[in-house]
A and B are shown apart, each in its own frame.
Chain A
Amino acid sequence: MDNHRLEVFKYIFLFVVGIILVVVLYRFDPASSNIFPPCPFHKLTGFYCPGCGSLRAINRLLHGRFLEALGLNPLMIITLPFLVYGLVAQFCYSVFSYKIAMPFIKAVWIWGMLSIIILYWVARNIDVYPFNTLRP
């Protein structure tokens, strides 16, 4: 099997895994079900990480409760459309060799995103009014 075929199989495998995860997330609520593992960072340190609340937020989103999802992890919900677009573009390119337009992201923007993530991480752990709304 050549490398390109292997690549296609890899992406199809990841796609199937993704679909299974979405179905499981739809069926079971991570807030009340114990089939999902706890966040290792939160369990070890007691602090919230930038990803805390992501699974619960996706569960709410799949059930159409957008505002509840936004309340659990706002940064993840805002980033999600871009991530999905990027993943779909990558999938189409790797599997079907079909090109979807993707802008080249300048380094400055990535550094900006990184600072936003780190500020978000810190802000979530400050237990004062405007910041503690960011907690899951």
Chain B
Amino acid sequence: MYCRDCGTENEANTCKCVNCGKVMVPIVDTCQKGDWQKVPSRLIPAILATLFCCMPFGIVAIVYAAQANGKLTGGNYQGAMEDRKKATMWCWIAFGLGLIPAIYWAALFFYGFFGTTVGQFDGQSPIGSF
């Protein structure tokens, strides 16, 4: 069985995951019961990345989340775990690339704030915002 949280393979009937220490829940049972919490999913961060980071990479994460859930329904747990890891990776890429302009903007802002123009704080943004 695989840990629903970190994806590490554990022996059957393990109480706690050997890697992260979370209480193990058998995924096979879970899918039959249809309880999302015991089934790994990266859907929420993927949608968050798409609707807030405005980066197309969130879309890739949603694709992998869909594939993972499709494989889970088909009983391919190993494949689902791999897709879930890819979804996680693309979420981080989306959030990371969303952060770069934010950091750049913060740098510009503090330069403007402490440098030349102090009264910029609540002024009109020249290019608009999110």
Using a CB–CB distance below 8 Å, which chain A residues touch chain B? 2-4, 7, 28, 30-43, 49-56, 73, 75-76, 79, 83, 86-87, 89-90, 93, 97, 99-107, 110-111, 113-114, 117-118
Contact = CB atoms under 8 A, between A and B. Distances in A.
A42 B35 contact: no
A117 to B, nearest CB: 6
Contacts of A118: 59
B53 A3 contact: no
A87 B98 CA distance: 20
B114 interface: no
Contacts of A41: 54-56
A28 B120 CA distance: 13
B122 interface: yes
Interface of B: 5-6, 19-23, 30-31, 34-37, 39, 41, 43-44, 47-48, 50-56, 59, 62-63, 65-67, 69-70, 72-73, 97-98, 100-102, 104-106, 109, 120-130
Contacts of B105: 36-38
A110 B44 CA distance: 11
Contacts of A51: 50-54, 130
B33 to A, nearest CB: 8
A14 to B, nearest CB: 10
B130 A55 contact: yes
A53 B130 contact: yes
A104 B39 contact: yes
Contact of B122 (A32, A53, A73): A32
A87 B37 CA distance: 11
A103 B98 CA distance: 30
Given A7-B20, A32-B125, A102-B37, A117 B62 contact: yes
Contacts of A50: 50-51, 54
Q: What 6 A-B pairs have minimum CB-CB distances, sorted nearest first?
A: A107-B70, A37-B105, A102-B36, A51-B54, A110-B66, A55-B130
